[in-house]
């Protein structure tokens, strides 16, 4: 009989103690037939979350749950890396790592479905769930990798152009069947530890957004596939920690992550072209909106902030060249 892989589940908390505990309770039930443990990483909430979660876990007698502190809020990727590096409680290395948002609640079979899928599909390095809201509305979590063409298509918002560039658009209509996609949102994603050993953990330069995109791209470049598994269903409230739904203005870290992703994976010139394509598309969208008497659909000051960030970044070195110089200095 083949031994089941050992699973480490990571739930990252930032000032959502009550919801995090609800998420942990759901994932404990979903892991009842699996050989695994759960780590709650408090991402330096400084609001009593760590103490409240620790006390609840101890009182409930959840001996399969550990609560640890990250020590600083380095963002989504850095917080999850703290959990991955902590490993299993006996000091051993897990076979699989499952990252789950603190506002996400797996169905009773959701985690086991992902584990079984990865066992049955060795070419898949990562597998992610179908995410839906409290009213069963399906959330968009399947995507293509961003490109210059996708930046223009996403910004121009014009039917004929979107149809022409359909194969380049980042959002990928939610597939009905399990299979390969470029990248998945990280609200509920299971990863082989062997893959992470080869490609590295989340890049902690990203504070929030694009870190899953980058990780999946590195997996693809190393020959591993990313699969969407709709049979694994997870309810997700969405944007509770980030406050994205109530943004009055896109925060600077989103622009930082976007630009870093392009420069890291494609180089400085490509990143500038991607921004130019987005600005051109956005300007055309605003012109059409003005002519039709309708307001643009961008967040307030979005294009202005994008251009300002791009101009400020002109003197920054490329990520890879900076890394190379650091390595040369250390040799």
| pLDDT recorded at residue 144 | 98
| pLDDT recorded at residue 130 | 98
Buried b (16+ CB within 10 A) or exposed e, 37-48: bbbbbbbbbeee
Which domain range does residue 257 map to? Answer: 252-330
Same domain, 136 and 257: no
The average pLDDT across 241-267 equals: 84
Helix (H) or strand (E) holding 167: none
| pLDDT recorded at residue 12 | 98
Same domain, 315 and 257: yes
The average pLDDT across 312-324 equals: 67
CATH number at 178 reads 3.90.550.10
Burial zone of 309 (CB within 10 Å; 0-12 exposed, 13-18 middle, 19+ buried): middle
Which residue, of 240, 264, 282, is where some domain finishes? 240
- What percent of the chain shows pLDDT beyond 90? 88
Same domain, 86 and 226: yes
Residue 161, domain member (yes or no): no
Helix (H) or strand (E) holding 128: strand 124-132
Same domain, 202 and 305: no
Q: Is the pLDDT of residue 314 over 50?
A: yes
Q: Is the pLDDT of residue 252 over 70?
A: yes
Q: Is the pLDDT of residue 247 over 80?
A: no
What is the per-residue pLDDT across 181-196, written as a single tens digit (0 to 9) for each?
999 999 999 999 999 9
Same domain, 72 and 122: yes
Tokens 């899953």 identify what position?
212
Residue 201, domain member (yes or no): yes
Of 163, 204, 9, which is closest to residue 96 (Cα–Cα)? Answer: 9
In terms of DSSP bridges, do strands 65-69 and 36-42 run parallel, antiparallel, or are they unpaired?
parallel
- pLDDT grade, residue 2 (50/70/90)? low
Same domain, 231 and 325: no
The DSSP call for residue 8 is E
The average pLDDT across 108-130 equals: 98
Residue 163, domain member (yes or no): no
Which residue, of 220, 240, 260, is where some domain finishes? 240
Q: Is the pLDDT of residue 178 over 50?
A: yes
**Phi, psi torsion values for 73, nearest 5 degrees:** -90, 90
| pLDDT recorded at residue 1 | 46
- What percent of the chain shows pLDDT beyond 70? 92
Q: Is the pLDDT of residue 204 over 70?
A: yes
Same domain, 57 and 138: yes
The count of domains in the chain is 2
The average pLDDT across 228-250 equals: 77
Residue 198, domain member (yes or no): yes
Residue 158, domain member (yes or no): no
Residue 162, domain member (yes or no): no
Which residue, of 181, 213, 240, is where some domain finishes? 240
Same domain, 74 and 197: yes
Of 42, 31, 40, 36, which is closest to residue 93 (Cα–Cα)? Answer: 36
Same domain, 300 and 181: no
Same domain, 76 and 203: yes
Residue 246, domain member (yes or no): no
Same domain, 256 and 326: yes
Answer yes or no: are the C-beta atoms of 223 and 180 closer than 8 Å: no
User: Whole-angstrom Cα distance, residue 206 to residue 214?
Assistant: 9
Residue 152, domain member (yes or no): no
Same domain, 204 and 257: no
């Amino acid at each position: 009989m083949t031994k089941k892989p050992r699973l480490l589940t990571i739930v990252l908390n930032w000032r959502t103690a009550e919801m995090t505990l609800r998420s942990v309770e759901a994932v404990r039930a979903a892991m009842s037939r699996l050989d695994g443990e759960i780590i709650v990483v408090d991402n330096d909430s400084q609001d009593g979350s760590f103490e409240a979660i620790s006390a609840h876990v101890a009182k409930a007698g959840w001996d399969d749950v550990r609560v640890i502190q990250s020590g600083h809020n380095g963002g989504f990727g850095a917080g999850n890396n703290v959990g991955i590096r902590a490993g299993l409680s006996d000091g051993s290395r897990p076979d699989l790592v499952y990252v789950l948002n603190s506002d996400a609640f797996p169905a009773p079979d959701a985690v086991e479905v992902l584990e079984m899928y990865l066992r049955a599909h060795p070419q898949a390095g990562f597998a992610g769930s179908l995410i839906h809201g409290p009213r069963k509305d399906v959330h968009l979590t399947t995507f293509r990798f961003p490109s210059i063409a996708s930046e223009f298509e996403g910004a121009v918002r014009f039917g004929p152009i979107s149809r022409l560039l359909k194969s380049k658009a980042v959002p990928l209509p939610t597939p009905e069947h399990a299979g390969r996609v470029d990248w998945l949102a990280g609200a509920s994603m299971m990863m082989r530890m062997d893959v992470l050993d080869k490609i590295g953990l989340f890049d902690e330069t990203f504070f929030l957004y694009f870190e899953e995109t980058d990780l999946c791209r590195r997996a693809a470049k190393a020959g591993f596939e990313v699969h969407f598994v709709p049979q694994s269903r997870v309810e997700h409230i969405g944007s509770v920690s980030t406050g994205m739904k109530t943004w009055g203005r896109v925060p600077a870290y989103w622009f930082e992550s976007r630009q870093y992703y392009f420069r890291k994976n494609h180089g400085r010139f490509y990143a500038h072209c991607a921004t130019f394509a987005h600005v051109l598309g956005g300007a055309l969208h605003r012109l059409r909106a003005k002519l039709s008497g309708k307001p643009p659909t961008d967040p307030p000051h979005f294009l202005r902030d994008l251009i300002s960030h791009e101009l400020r970044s002109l003197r920054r070195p490329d990520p890879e060249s900076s890394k190379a110089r650091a390595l040369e200095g250390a040799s």
